[in-house]
Chains A and B, each alone.
Chain A
Amino acid sequence: MSKTPTAVPVGAIPTPLYERMEAISTTKSWANWAGYISPLVLDTVEFEYFAIRNQSTLFDISPMHKYRISGPDALKVLNRLVTRDVAKLRDGRVGYALWCDEEGMVIDDGTIFRYTETDFLLCCQETMYSWLLDSAWGFEADIIDESHTIAGVSLQGPTTFSLLKEAGLGAVEDMKPFDLREVEPGLWVSRTGFTGDLGYELWTAWDDIAALWDRLWAAGGNWGLRAIGAEALNMVRIEAGFIAAGVDFQPVHTAMRLHRGRSPLELGFEKLVHFEKGHFNGRRALLQQREDGMKHHLVKIDIGGFKPADGSLIYHRKKKEVGHVTSGVWSPTMKQNIALAEFKAPYGKAIQDDLWVEIYVNEEGQWDKRIVPLTVVDKPFFQNARSRATPPKSF
């Protein structure tokens, strides 16, 4: 933090990028993200959405929680914390990971930045400091909350590499997806993002982020750079098939009711649960669940029609309620009515036929009900070779 506040601020507080966003915001549509003022939409959601898929976009990810885990046992701590094998993550790489409570229910998901075997950064949505302290108890590892000392921006879209080159950051050219590099002293770049497209996340000190924004902004003119809000981002993350905490699953530590937690197996992340790596939190419970069978399945679905189905109930044979849509959106790029949906097992996996979504539509004050069929989809809705090409194509 730049300075110690003299009093606890009332209400949401600005990030170092707030002034810049405020100046260009026509909608004044703000949300509270982890206590910070964060834009939902700056101009129009359509412009912002198409900018992600066709140009370059900047999104302020400074409110993200960031925890440094370092020390001789840092790897041990992380490997006990998350379900995937962090030992297999190389230095200078980023890995998506989920972590569970003792019952195998997901506490949160996030990304692990591996600097070295003894130095990591964990980025996530939920506050995790006390949980990390508990996880590190008995180990030689320090947990430092860097949420307020490291700021970040997410630069996403097909022209982002060209933009970075123009901004003097062409050094990212040979970075593969999930690579992490300090491209200039104090400026870390990871080829990561929440869009399924070509893109980078740039991390620097809290006080330096505004200057970085200005630098990118100055280079952005030729590349169609736009600042965006969370609404457009939400559309592309559904297209990419990414799950969102608190939306597609309930982080179990914040769920008040019984049985609201979901396991990584239920969320479809079998491949990120490395049972063979040794013990990790919830491992025994997950083994048991693998044996007993899952209670839910979170899957991607393609829905008939074009009416967004967010929150809709799903029926088997139009009769029995078997699930609901957790996030749904009309995909302008794919021209599909796409969604993530949670089913009661075995629906959604063993039973995929004869499933119907009940969508309510409000047509200027008149409510109508549509029963439309759905298809379960395996692959992300949006996949594009440019997102993985190394070096990325110039524009």
Chain B
Amino acid sequence: MSVSATYDVVVIGGGHNGLTAAATLAKKGKSVCVIEKAEAFGGMAREVAHLLYNLHPKVARELGLGALNEGKPLSTISLAEDGNHVEISGDTVRFADGAAHPDAAAYAEMIRRLKKFAGVLGQLSTKTPPKLDGGLTSLATLGELAGLAKMGLDLKRLGKKDMNEFLRVILTNAYDLVLDEMPDGPLAGALCADAVRGNFVGPRSPGTVFNLMYRLGQGGDVRLPKGGMIAVARAFEDAARKAGVDLRAGQGVTRVLIENDTVNGVELEDGTVINTRAVLSSAAPKATMEMAGIEHFDVEAARRMRHMRCKGSVAKLTLTLKDAPSIKGLSWDQMKSRFLIAPSAAAVERSFNPVKYNELPTAPVIEAVIPTLSDVEVASDGRHILSANIQHVPHTPEGGWDDAKRRHVINTVVAQLETHMPGLAALVESPDLLTPADIEARTGAPGGHWHHAEMGVDQILTVRPVNGMAHYRFAIGGLYLCGAAAHPGGDVTGLPGRNSALQLLKDGVLS
């Protein structure tokens, strides 16, 4: 064992949250090193995500990533079997051919309300979740409660009608909320699809309204930055490097070294030891616990972490196409949109059925985009890429993944797309499927879960990732969580990383 270096902070995992945490600390003058197991930085933002939304403006500003939030957001087109596709641009809804949509006003009103609610909730996302067990005599508790009190006040300021509505819907399901306002169809389906993405739920599952609000946290605009998500990952990487962070890729941390209940280093795969005063881990809570040694954790904490809900249900399919596909009735410009195959709220709920029983999808919800249409530089030899996030694919189906099952998923998705893009199957050169199991293997995300841990009422805010661990502090002195499993949760927000770094500074571990 040789000590190769000493840092104030070692960050485990070079996903966007790890990089954000590292950059935030480096900007405060701390010496920071990020250890990434894979060869490239960026984690799930690079491997799984294909669109950018929810990037928090504070993170963007502090890390100099403002450019990522610029540019025209993509429209969403919810594909309809009868060809009357619905186009959603911001709060405006119309049919793709330009005709007025009968539910446009209802949609605008609902989104206005949800965004307002999301704004109120969003205040909590940039702070450590409030903790009440310190008692009212604890200064730290009072500080955290102030945030909660402010939210309460803002809730009051919504006015009686909206406040009642907020309290009514916050824990309910998207299916009921949406169908209260409009008949079922591609527009309702689109809302429900966005309410379930990444989670092991259907639109009738409780808490899906919260998930929809979470998605609308930064307004809900979806962007396709130039260069795609690889460029986004690189932007985070560059921000960290510019801030003075040392980045090490290609080798993972095997152990977090602990003495006297305090972190004092990490050991890498080749036995190299790096000394440090603090470790921020963007790895999964259970994996982090195992790196540190289970004996350092209370039995209850270990039990909660191993029972944390994290069944991934999103697969990613990348199709390389010989030529650009087209959809009848859509303009070239409209082909650059985000497509949803979610023909109705009921169809989204049905999409969830097979995965509950660990079965392969029959008609899954699909979010697809053809980035090569917007970003011609990425396309080569006239080839195009269609990227699809497939909702409701099991992590490991009965009997495990094999070629036949992978082929089945690919064929199912291509066939679904083919109904709207005639001739697509013939254009496919090479389909590349990442199942939740593949995503877990590549990124370490438990269960291959989009958010590292299911975003359910039992796993958000003060109980994220688990009860007693919501303060980023991870039992052992100097050990912190900074990944999506920590508050506020997944998506490329940068917030868990930023919040964790700020909590570390606040706790005075490095002073």
Contact = CB atoms under 8 A, between A and B. Distances in A.
Given A80-B295, A102-B468, A138 B302 contact: yes
B261 A281 contact: no
Contacts of B303: 134, 137
A102 B295 CA distance: 13
Contacts of A134: 299, 302-303
Interface string B286-319: 0000100011111111110010000000000000
Given A101-B300, A137-B303, A138-B302, A278 B475 contact: no
Contacts of B261: 278-279, 283-284
B328 to A, nearest CB: 57
Interface residues on B, range: 10 to 19
B294 A139 contact: yes
A135 B296 contact: no
B302 A278 contact: no
B295 A278 contact: yes
A391 B298 CA distance: 42
B298 A137 contact: no
B162 to A, nearest CB: 35
B295 A135 contact: no
Given A102-B468, A279-B261, A135 B475 contact: no
Given A102-B468, A134-B303, A137-B306, A282 B298 contact: yes
A384 to B, nearest CB: 39
A281 B299 contact: yes
Nearest to B476: A279
A281 B296 CA distance: 9
Contacts of A139: 294-295
A306 interface: no
A137 B306 CA distance: 10
Contacts of B299: 80-81, 101-102, 131, 134-135, 281
Interface string A57-88: 00000000000000000001001110000000
B334 to A, nearest CB: 53
B290 A138 contact: yes
Interface string A93-104: 000000001100
Given A279-B261, A284-B475, A76 B295 contact: yes
Nearest to A275: B261
B137 to A, nearest CB: 10
Contacts of B306: 137
Nearest to B477: A284
A79 B468 CA distance: 22
B228 to A, nearest CB: 40
Interface in B34-51: none
Contacts of B302: 134, 137-138
Given A138-B290, A279-B261, A284-B475, A102 B296 contact: no
A321 to B, nearest CB: 23
Interface string A272-309: 00000011011110000000000000000000000000
Interface in B258-290: 261, 290
Q: Which of B296, B302, B475 gathers most chain A CB within 10 Å?
A: B302
Interface string A343-371: 00000000000000000000000000000
A281 B298 CA distance: 5
Interface in A28-81: 76, 79-81
B298 A102 contact: yes
A138 B294 CA distance: 7
Contacts of B475: 284
B301 A102 contact: yes
Interface-central residue, B290, B295, B300, B306, by most chain A CB under 10 Å: B295
B193 to A, nearest CB: 38
A78 to B, nearest CB: 11
Contacts of A81: 299
A279 B294 CA distance: 10
Contacts of A138: 290, 294, 302
Contacts of A137: 294, 302-303, 306
Interface in B306-339: 306
Interface in B146-163: none
B63 to A, nearest CB: 34
Nearest to A104: B298
Contacts of B295: 76, 79-80, 139, 278-279
Contacts of A102: 298-301, 468
A77 B298 CA distance: 11
Contacts of A282: 298
Contacts of A76: 295
B476 to A, nearest CB: 8
Q: Which one of B295, B298, B302, B306 has the greatest number of beta carbons of chain A within 10 Å?
A: B298
A292 to B, nearest CB: 10
Given A102-B468, A138-B290, A284-B475, A279 B296 contact: yes
A294 to B, nearest CB: 16
Interface in A123-149: 131, 134-135, 137-139
A276 B261 CA distance: 10
A278 B292 CA distance: 13
A285 to B, nearest CB: 8
Contacts of A284: 261, 298, 475
Among A79, A138, A281, A283, chain B packs the most CB atoms within 10 A around the CB of A138
Contacts of A101: 298-300
A102 B467 CA distance: 12
A370 B300 CA distance: 46
12 contacts: A76-B295, A81-B299, A101-B298, A102-B299, A139-B294, A139-B295, A278-B295, A279-B296, A279-B297, A282-B298, A283-B261, A284-B298
Given A284-B261, A284-B475, 8 more contacts: A134-B303, A137-B303, A139-B294, A279-B261, A279-B295, A281-B298, A281-B299, A284-B298
Interface of B: 261, 290, 294-303, 306, 468, 475
8 closest Cβ contacts across the A-B interface? A102-B298, A138-B294, A102-B300, A279-B296, A135-B299, A80-B295, A134-B299, A281-B298
